Chain A
């Protein structure tokens, strides 16, 4: 699958506060990609950078193979998003809101198409009501309609379940899954709830305090037997070829510094033995706990420290 989003070394400071610190990740076409982190971890800042609401301090963002800094309009015309709350013009009806944002996206949908979209999100028969009469869940559904009306390839939802009741959350989940499965859209989804990501996403990234903690396939990352191993060695090249020779995929490496890869906890002693035999010096080796445990410790340090 080709990467549809490539974010590299993204950093952003607000004054002295570092909001994003060297974040890199990629999203493949067709992914439901989860963005997991506590509130304030940098999820929204990253997403806002991707939607060009915030200018990155450094780093690059490429979407659909285009540079966001130079091809903003082209990228945004194929992207739909709900950033934080789904806010619309409260003094206008759902139909009018949808029509306005469709036209801003550069299309002129027919009345039928607009109504069809409102049917898809379950707002048919309420389309003439002013948005100020809507519940949070209805606004969220209208937000989804707005983000989909121009038939984008990529859809980004920032905390779509926020402020919704359980029924609302379940409805939104269904909608997102339908749009991924039925319409083949690539979806980026942020949440502070691991369970939500686990339920919907196939790939994910965890960020904390503006730094990337881990990125990978949800199924693997959430496999309790799996550990993320960070091996610090001055001879990364030799270590790299030794480890890949064992059929292990390196997920991240910095020359002369470290390598990072996933490994079953039980295989770690054998690997260290092998490295020693090869005469590859090891400065430090660190295996992280299972991801869930790790994430919970982030969100609630007192209980899981």
Chain B
């Protein structure tokens, strides 16, 4: 199993397309950083809206490294599923397309092992992507934009809120958020892998996984009570943005944020469990179907 995983990672390492994902992330992050360095104030004005009529705020200081990372993740974590699907959706179907699946399966390795190894390799790839995001979006932003308290702009139901987290209370939230994002993206990996089992070229499963993510995300964001109550809880995409929960700081009765607190940990925990259940079911189903599949490619 370890040897197989090593082989799988070696193959990913050697493929040029692997680096597309890292290049894409780097490009997006750099563009964001450049744009905000040049004109972050406009964006801040958009977020602050009429709050500026009533309050003084040092907007330059508010556009700090922590804030930047949050903004970048906000956008990037909607795009990264595509990058994860690009690798995981290719896991089995790419081998089928290349013809190597035949060769692989004539080796003394069980199909379940192959699914698990493919899944683990996609998971490790996802972790590396997130690590790279942490390096570029977080650490590089901190280097460029400096350290200060972080403002979180949030729409909660019918209300909009601005939360301020003190700078000594942020890092652990990012680590937790990256951890959560790893689980959330692994669901995408598992979903792509699942589709990958049925296809003989990699375009199909990648497109299928990405389409599902897009469609479900769009549905998740429809503001109709019927959908919010009866559809949204069953869409895994509703839980993909759960990493933000770590930045929703708890407050005392007089609305003052409590350092080190999270507004609703139970909700994050439940989201994590739901995502983990998705992973287990999808990987299990992938193995089940793969074991029963006739290899005709």
A residues lining the B interface (CB < 8 Å): 14, 48, 51-55, 72-77, 79-85, 87-92, 96, 100-101, 103-106, 146
Q: CA separation between A53 and B109, bound complex, in Å?
A: 12
Task: List residues of chain B with CB within 8 A of the CB of A90.
Answer: 98
Is the Cβ of A100 less than 8 Å from the Cβ of B292? no
Decide yes or no whether B110 CB sits under 8 A from chain A.
yes
Is the Cβ of B292 less than 8 Å from the Cβ of A55? yes
Q: CA separation between A96 and B7, bound complex, in Å?
A: 10
Task: Kindly identify which residue among B3, B16, B98, B108 contacts A77, using a CB–CB cutoff of 8 Å.
Answer: B108
Is the Cβ of A101 less than 8 Å from the Cβ of B103? yes
Q: CA separation between A101 and B99, bound complex, in Å?
A: 14
Is the Cβ of A54 less than 8 Å from the Cβ of B296? yes
Q: CA separation between A89 and B10, bound complex, in Å?
A: 12
Further pairs besides A72-B108, A96-B10, A104-B4: 20, Cβ < 8 Å: A51-B105, A52-B105, A54-B294, A54-B295, A55-B292, A73-B108, A76-B106, A79-B106, A83-B102, A87-B100, A87-B103, A88-B103, A89-B11, A89-B98, A92-B14, A100-B10, A100-B11, A104-B7, A104-B104, A146-B103
Is the Cβ of A53 less than 8 Å from the Cβ of B107? no
Known: A74-B108, A83-B102. A91 touches B295 (CB 8 A): no
Is the Cβ of B98 less than 8 Å from the Cβ of A87? yes
Q: Which of B1-29 contact A (CB under 8 A)?
A: 3-4, 7, 10-11, 14-16
Is the Cβ of A104 less than 8 Å from the Cβ of B107? yes
Task: Kindly identify which residue among B10, B102, B292 contacts A87, using a CB–CB cutoff of 8 Å.
Answer: B102
Q: Report the count of interface residues on B (CB-CB < 8 A).
A: 24
Task: List residues of chain B with CB within 8 A of the CB of A88.
Answer: 100, 103
Is the Cβ of A81 less than 8 Å from the Cβ of B7? no
User: Mask for B102-132, Cβ within 8 A of A = 1, else 0?
Assistant: 1111111110000000000000000000000
Task: Kindly identify which residue among B15, B99, B109 contacts A91, using a CB–CB cutoff of 8 Å.
Answer: B15
User: For chain B, what secondary structure do more than half of its interface residues adopt (helix, strand, loop), or is it mixed?
Assistant: helix
Task: List residues of chain A with CB within 8 A of the CB of B11.
Answer: 89, 92, 100
Task: List residues of chain A with CB within 8 A of the CB of B292.
Answer: 55
For B15, give the chain A residue with the smallest CB separation. A91
B residues lining the A interface (CB < 8 Å): 3-4, 7, 10-11, 14-16, 98-100, 102-110, 292, 294-296
For B99, give the chain A residue with the smallest CB separation. A87
15 contacts between A and B (CB under 8 A): A48-B296, A54-B294, A55-B294, A74-B108, A75-B108, A82-B103, A83-B102, A87-B103, A88-B100, A89-B98, A91-B15, A96-B10, A100-B7, A103-B7, A105-B107
Pick the 4 closest A-B CB pairs, nearest first.
Answer: A87-B99, A77-B108, A53-B295, A104-B107
Is the Cβ of B295 less than 8 Å from the Cβ of A85? no
Is the Cβ of A51 less than 8 Å from the Cβ of B108? no
Is the Cβ of B106 less than 8 Å from the Cβ of A51? yes
Is the Cβ of A53 less than 8 Å from the Cβ of B105? yes
For B17, give the chain A residue with the smallest CB separation. A91
Known: A96-B14, A100-B10. A76 touches B107 (CB 8 A): yes
In the assembled complex, the CB of A14 is this many whole angstroms from the nearest CB of chain B, namely 8
Task: List residues of chain A with CB within 8 A of the CB of B3.
Answer: 103
Task: List residues of chain A with CB within 8 A of the CB of B107.
Answer: 76, 101, 104-105
In the assembled complex, the CB of A160 is this many whole angstroms from the nearest CB of chain B, namely 14
Q: CA separation between A87 and B200, bound complex, in Å?
A: 14
Task: List residues of chain B with CB within 8 A of the CB of A91.
Answer: 14-16
Task: List residues of chain A with CB within 8 A of the CB of B296.
Answer: 48, 54
Task: List residues of chain B with CB within 8 A of the CB of A105.
Answer: 107-108
Q: Name the residue in B102, B106, B108 with the highest tally of chain A Cβ atoms < 10 Å from its Cβ.
A: B106
In the assembled complex, the CB of A121 is this many whole angstroms from the nearest CB of chain B, namely 16
